Amino acid sequence: MGKSKELSVDLKKRIIDLNKSGKSLGAISKQLQVPRATVQTIIRKYKVHGTVVSLPRSGRKRKLSHAAERRLVRMVKSQPRITKKQVCKDLEADGTQVSVSTVKRVLHRHGLRGCRARKKPLLQKRHLKTRLKFAADHMDKDKTFWRKVLWSDEIKIELFGHNTQQYVWRRKGEAFNPRNTMPTVKHGGGSIMLWGCFAASGTGSLQKVNGIMKKEDYLQILQENLKPSARRLGLGRSWVFQQDNDPKHTSKVVKEWLNQARIKVLEWPSQSPDLNPIENMWTVLKKRVHARKPSHLAELHQFCQEEWSNIRPEACQELVDGYQKRLVAVKMAKGHVTKY
């Protein structure tokens, strides 16, 4: 038998008014075409609660007690990678049988939602230690210091960014309609490797790397682009060069050239891309370039050069001026990865 439709508030009020006027339950039922039992129930509730508005209902008894819910939440917090099905099995082993949807509702009620794990570098104890030391050593540096840093890194940009996601509005059964699919090409359709640098005053050089970059190639890039970029960005004489600890960067030949050129290098903690603001610049560059939909590698390189030079100096300065927040985040995370 289907669930009956609840009477409107206006109709309930008419029942109460007729009852107050002295009409019997049968007369009210016949006049308003409402079952006599329903009329009786409405009048009884009105006499007890003084209203015809529906009161909150207790609903079905929960499958999980408050103690079981707390245990469930503790289980998921201590094992973030556990699946809902595994949670159900663990609860069933303890004598509590619930569905996957029940587990999901309970977790949502406690603010826990399933999300894709972010991919971050593997950090060992020595990495945590050096990251914390870097944060502590530079916590007292003001904006003036960070504005004198020339940040650098390499990036691979694919012709077709197959890692990007695209959501579409579609009906059931239309998943493979050409309008609702995202074309892919093997190996991303090719890619280019770029070396770039920037400072608070703007973007510096952006150089294409031919083939696999060796230490000799990296040295040539530095010789041709480092000082010209620093001069163009107005860093003066006391600027600092930042690079990560890639073996090519820390090779003997590169170190010797940097010493001879009297370029001060920022001591850098390994496995710390979240401490390098150029990673944010690469994200901006990729979005802008892929939005223009380059059709071949030469066009991809051209768009990269154009969009790199189009990044506003104000955006660069804003990114660098907020650098201390990264150090605070590392300290708060006890050396572990941060949102940056």
Range of the domain at 33: 9-49
DSSP-based three-state secondary structure for 191:
strand
| 171 shares a domain with 312 | yes
Q: Do 105 and 29 belong together in one domain?
A: no
Question: CA-to-CA distance for 304 and 210, rounded, in angstroms?
Answer: 15
Same domain, 166 and 241: yes
Whole-angstrom Cα distance, residue 222 to residue 219?
Answer: 5
Residue 57: inside a domain = no
Residues 98 and 234 in one domain: no
Q: Are residues 158 and 293 in the same domain?
A: yes
Q: Cα separation of 277 and 286, whole Å? A: 15
- Phi first, then psi: what are they for 197, rounded to 5°? -145, 155
What is the rounded distance in angstroms from the CA atom of residue 13 to the CA atom of residue 17? 6
Asked if residue 184 and residue 149 are part of one domain, the reply reads yes
What is the Cα–Cα distance from 269 to 245, expressed in whole angstroms? 8
Q: Is residue 187 part of a domain?
A: yes
Same domain, 90 and 214: no
Inside any domain, residue 59:
no
Which stretches of the chain score pLDDT less than 50? Answer: 1, 162
In a domain, 340, yes or no: no
Asked if 127 and 269 touch (Cβ cutoff 8 Å), the reply is: yes
- The total domain count for the chain is 3
Residues 218 and 144 in one domain: yes
| 92: Cβ contacts below 8 Å, ≥ 6 apart | 98
Q: Is the same domain home to 26 and 95?
A: no
Q: Is residue 3 part of a domain?
A: no
Residues 151 and 255 placed together within one structural domain of the fold:
yes
The DSSP output letter for 182 is -
> Is residue 145 helix, strand or coil?
helix
Considering the domain architecture, whether residues 13 and 85 belong to the same structural domain is answered as no
Q: Could you read off the pLDDT of 135-176 as tens digits, one per residue?
A: 999 999 999 999 999 999 999 999 876 455 666 777 777 777
Confirm whether 242 is domain-assigned: yes
Give the pLDDT confidence score for residue 254 in this predicted structure. Answer: 95
In a domain, 118, yes or no: no
Q: Decide: 308 and 285 in contact? Cβ < 8 Å.
A: yes
The verdict on residue 275 lying in a domain is yes
Distance between CA 329 and CA 224 in Å, rounded?
35
Q: Does 152 lie in the same domain as 19?
A: no
Provide the whole-model pTM: 0.71
CATH number at residue 285: 3.30.420.10
Residue 1's pLDDT is 47
- Crossing angle for the helix pair 252-260 and 215-232, to the nearest 10 degrees: 30
